[in-house]
Amino acid sequence: MIQLAQLHFAERLLRQRKSQRTVARTAQISRGTVATIAAGLHRHQLAPDSPQTPDDWTTTYHRCDTCGALVHLPCLACQLREHLRLLGKYHAHPHR
């Protein structure tokens, strides 16, 4: 289990476009967990009682450079695609 502070630290690093490998090493969490956080699917991010979302998550939409969708950056759709790509790479038969 990771601490909320680690989760928020990892999210901040990911917003700074750090690689997931770098984020994992810097925040001292597993690369699988970083991939989950990058995709916005970590249970701390999904929990209804999660403390709060970053201000920029709720207030501003931006055009995603990668897919062109109007989204909250970083683009969840692109992160999810990256997450699924990593799952496909590292786990040929994902169970979840």
Q: Does 66 bind Zn ion (CB under 5 A)?
A: yes
Q: Does 29 bind Zn ion (CB under 5 A)?
A: no
Burial class of residue 71, CB neighbours in 10 A (0-12, 13-18, 19+)? middle
Q: Give the total of residues touching Zn ion (CB under 5 A).
A: 6
Structure tokens at 74: 């970083």
Helix and strand numbers (H, E) in the chain are 6, 2
Smaller CB separation from Zn ion, 13 or 78: 78
Shortest distance, position 73 Cβ to Zn ion, whole Å: 9
The amino acid that residue 44 corresponds to is H
Q: Does 76 bind Zn ion (CB under 5 A)?
A: no
List Cβ neighbours of 54 (8 Å cut-off, separation of 6 or more): 11
Question: In this chain, which of 2, 64, 73, 80 binds Zn ion, going by CB under 5 A?
Answer: 64
Q: Does 38 bind Zn ion (CB under 5 A)?
A: no
Question: In this chain, which of 14, 27, 78, 86 binds Zn ion, going by CB under 5 A?
Answer: 78
Peptide bond into 74 cis (omega under 30): yes
Residues binding Zn ion (CB under 5 A) = 64, 66-67, 75, 77-78
